[in-house]
Structure 1
Amino acid sequence: MAQKAAKSLAARNASTLNRTHLITLSLHALFLTLNFLFNRPSALLRYCLLNLPALAIEFYLERLGRPHYSLQDGSLKSAGEDLGASGLTEYMWDILYWTWICMGAVCVLGDWAWWFYVAVPVYSVYLGWTTFFGMKKGLAGFAGGSSEVQSSGGSGGASKRQQKLEKRGGQRVQYR
């Protein structure tokens, strides 16, 4: 049963990588054809710089996910890693897709569409910012609470229901 799963993963990875290479080749051919047709040599530097991360990611995904077969009998030696995995692999696919969208936009709208690529680092900074401050806020409860809560009689950390009960004088909640 494990061999069947490995074979299906190998087939899925191979088809995904072949499709990815075909789309990348088509987009690069279209861009270069339009670039040389309209004689825009200044766009080549931006093209090289902004496609370099996507090409590096595509090369890494190729090395990571391409199945390996034995030369003697053609049996599957390694199915490769799952290219549909979440986490870092998922983010790499997102960058690759966004690069394709930017290249298509540049082909249709012109060179100014490379500015769409700015969304990647802006989104990364946003994720980092919210993760850091969300974690900082979440870890603040582990420090024993703030001094304001402790000096205000202890009801600052209580839920709304507990605060209402304390106002009415019933069921006093004690905090340790």
Structure 2
Amino acid sequence: MAGKSSKKIAAKNAAILKQLHVLVVAILSLTLLRKWFSNGLISTLKPILFNVPMLLCLYILERTGRPKYEVSNAAHGKYKLVNEGFDLESGGLTEYMKDIVYVSLFCNLGTVFFNTMKWWFLVLVCPAFIFYKLYYLKQQYFPGASASKADLAETTPAEPSKSKRQLKREKRGDKSQVRYR
């Protein structure tokens, strides 16, 4: 039973990477063939150049997420799981890298269907989203960094606010709640 979860993670990672590789090879080959047949060899350099960030993200996902096996019994062909790889479904940076891959594939499909490179302006959504997330994190963890000192003086209350319990006790007048017969 031990190691069952790592085997599941390894199987999921292998399936995700296989799906990504199949999509990338199919769509990228369609894009290159479309550009090569419509405009010649020189126009195929643009899609290659625009797909460099996608290929870098795919390479990083491959290196970190691919499970590694070791042959434990060469005669029977049994393999032992050495490293299941980083969980590709865990979120965080892996999700952002997969988003970059999917947005690039969408832009490639737009290039194939409409024979225009203007679809690649959608790739600008990725850095804009990253800047938005960084700005949000900055506001969340450093709220005083953007406010000026005059604004802080105006918004700082002279007396700290009281909790609900303190307000109830003041309302009761600190009378005891115990009743004697």
- Structure 1 distance, partners of 2:139, 2:63, is 36
Q: 2:104 aligns with which of 95, 99, 106?
A: 99
Aligned to 1:112: 118
Structure 2: gaps spanning 5 or more residues? 74-78, 172-181
Aligned to 1:21: 21
**Which AA in structure 2 matches 1:52?**
V
Shift of 1:136: 3.3
Alignment of 1:5-154 (within 5 A): 5-41=5-41, 43-73=43-73, 74-109=79-114, 110-137=116-143, 146-149=152-155, 154=158
Deviation beyond 6 Å, 4+ runs, structure 1: 138-141
Shift of 1:138: 6.4
Normalised by the length of structure 2, the TM-score is 0.73
Shift of 1:32: 1.0
- What is the RMSD of the two structures over their aligned residues, measured on CA atoms? 3.1
For the 8 Å contact 2:36–2:43, the answer to whether it is kept is: no
- Structure 2 distance, partners of 1:71, 1:86, is 31
**Per residue, is there more helix in 1 or in 2?**
1
Normalised by the length of structure 1, the TM-score is 0.75
**Which AA in structure 2 matches 1:154?**
A
- Structure 1 distance, partners of 2:34, 2:25, is 14
Shift of 1:45: 3.4
Aligned to 2:176: none
Q: Which has the larger radius of gyration?
A: 2
- Structure 2 distance, partners of 1:22, 1:42, is 26
The alignment partner of 2:52 has SS state of helix
The alignment partner of 2:71 has SS state of coil
